[in-house]
Amino acid sequence: MNPFLTDERWGVDWVRVIANIRATGLSHASIAARVFVAKGSIDAYGSEDMRQRPEHSTGERLIALWCEVLGYARADLPMYRRGISVSEMLRSSR
């Protein structure tokens, strides 16, 4: 298992997940249809500026699609180091 998947300082890089799926020829609209969300949601997950994270169930469907179309295992998911939020910073200073 990928050790980053259990470390909360790391998160799935949804921008890269969407870009990888798009590289197989699927459009944002077809990705949205396959994971049962609005196209605007896929736009937001795939935007470097927005970096929105999907709900858990949507994320699971995106991961399943990513694995299916790319032939990778879940442990191969692209990850990134998340920034520390203000609330996390305040909690750690107590």
**Do 35 and 21 meet the contact criterion of CB atoms below 8 Å apart?**
no
Whether this model's pTM surpasses 0.95:
no
Mind listing the domains of the chain with CATH numbers?
3-92 (1.10.260.40)
Residue 38 vs residues 10, 15, 20, 70: alpha-carbon distances, Å? 26, 16, 19, 22
**1 pLDDT higher than 90:** no
Per DSSP (E only), the strands in the chain are 10-12, 79-81
| pLDDT tens-digit readout, 28-63 | 999 999 999 999 999 999 998 888 899 999 999 999
Q: Cβ neighbours of residue 2 under 8 Å, at least 6 residues apart?
A: 74, 75, 76, 77, 79
Cα radius of gyration (the chain): 14
